[in-house]
Amino acid sequence: KKVAVLISGSGTNLQALIDDSLKHDSPYSITLVVSNVADAYGLQRAQQASIQTCVVDHKQFKSREEFDNRIDQHLKSHNIDFVCLAGFMRIVSDQFVEKWRGRMLNIHPSLLPSFKGLHVHRQVLQAGVRVSGCTVHFVSNELDGGAILTQATVPVLPNDTEDDLCERVKTAEHKAFPEALRLLTSQKVMLGQDGRVIWL
């Protein structure tokens, strides 16, 4: 199965997906990386792995729909089957979500449904919870609200800074995302009409 990864930044999750895709038993390959940020380090990771890249700068578009449409054109021309949002810092339009319904995953650095949105590790530390983690979920039109595929937990340690927690959660992300993408691309799960995961 052909997978495109959408990024805006460093791309450590992209790297984890690339590494997993190169294993002999992987059901998917990463064939396109799209970034809305021209100097995102993740683009270099892709080029290093000889994966095609393109930059679609959201600032060049009048509306979210036009921006998403351009991305969609790239996905179509590369015959992409599945899309992963890996640190892609744009909200996608309802139209785009509908087009890729059941075929688009996002990773979020908390145990959803807790701590949606931005500054997640700060929210976690402020709440004083002792466990955090990450969630891979289908993308729906509710922000960080789609059906959950995989989660992994990490402890929140005394005196953790946001950076400490971010780093610990990322280690968990790098396992959870490939695991979720394997489930989806090997048809072990699908998204039901009611928006819930069906385990096949």
Give the C-alpha separation, 86 to 51, whole Å.
Answer: 16
Site for ligand GRF in 70-109 (CB under 6 A): 86-87, 107-109
Contact by Cβ (8 Å): 125, 160: yes
Question: Can you tell me which of 3, 6, 13, 93 binds ligand GRF, judged by CB under 6 A?
Answer: 13
Contact by Cβ (8 Å): 51, 32: yes
Q: How far is CA 16 from CA 13, 21, 23, 156, 181, in A?
A: 5, 9, 11, 23, 11
Rounded to the nearest whole angstrom, what is the least distance from the CB of residue 161 to ligand GRF in the complex?
15
**Nearer CB in complex with ligand GRF: 127/143:** 143
Alpha helices for 32-84 (secondary structure H): 41-48, 64-77
173 binds ligand GRF (CB under 6 A): yes
**Nearer CB in complex with ligand GRF: 164/190:** 164
Site mask for ligand GRF (CB under 6 A), range 118-147, x = bound? ----------------x-------------
Among residues 132, 128, 123, the alpha carbon closest in space to that of 155 is found at 132
Instruction: For residue 137, indicate whether it is catalytic.
Output: no
Q: How many residues bind ligand GRF (CB under 6 A)?
A: 14
17 binds ligand GRF (CB under 6 A): no
Which residue's structure tokens are 């699908």?
190
Q: What are phi and psi of 37, to 5 degrees?
A: -120, 120
Question: Can you tell me which of 3, 4, 6, 11 binds ligand GRF, judged by CB under 6 A?
Answer: 11
Q: Which of 108, 121, 137, 174 is catalytic?
A: 108
Could you list the active site residues?
A: 108
List interacting residues with ligand GRF (CB under 6 A): 9-14, 86-87, 107-109, 134, 170, 173
